[in-house]
Copies of this chain bind each other. A is one copy, B any other.
């Protein structure tokens, strides 16, 4: 697995400005150039700055990011795209890969995860020994909670509603295992 070339230029597409800028900064700190866009139109326009890699959030206010992925790749076939997907929504991930994305990322993704996704996306590891380890129930629960919580922008009440659990319970769970970040 080779690393991402240092002269790469990233295009970040996400509607959440805070998250986007934070990630952008993290990538810049690592010496990469970064351009950002908060929606499909801006993203297409940003192609003029010739990014080499793109990170696209699949779930944006103005519809799915899927058409954007298609358009980006159509316009710039050499552009390497990874998608940011909310929950482990495999279905749309699969769609995105079919459209030419090289990899996917689940939502709370930091700069290192992004770089790893690109590095890994460039070559399909055929030899990979899938010594499938069944994740423990506690672990999947934990990840799902984190994902939904992140998806609700940290809103505990909202997250508890979506998760179908009592707010007090979520609070207690979060107190037990402190959420990352």
Contacts and interface: CB of A to CB of B under 8 A. Distances in A.
Nearest to A161: B134
> In which size bucket is the chain A interface?
35 or more
B136 A163 contact: yes
A48 to B, nearest CB: 24
B141 A95 contact: no
B95 A93 contact: no
Contacts of A128: 64, 66, 92, 95
A63 B87 CA distance: 28
Contacts of A139: 164
Interface string A73-94: 0000000000000111110111
Given A93-B90, A94-B103, A126-B70, A141 B138 contact: no
A64 B126 CA distance: 8
A157 B120 CA distance: 36
A130 B59 contact: yes
A19 B63 CA distance: 40
Given A66-B128, A95-B125, A126-B70, A148 B165 contact: no
Given A95-B128, A97-B98, A98-B124, 15 more contacts: A66-B130, A87-B132, A87-B135, A88-B88, A93-B93, A94-B94, A94-B97, A94-B103, A95-B125, A132-B151, A134-B151, A136-B162, A136-B163, A138-B164, A141-B141
5 contacts: A66-B128, A89-B132, A95-B128, A137-B165, A139-B164
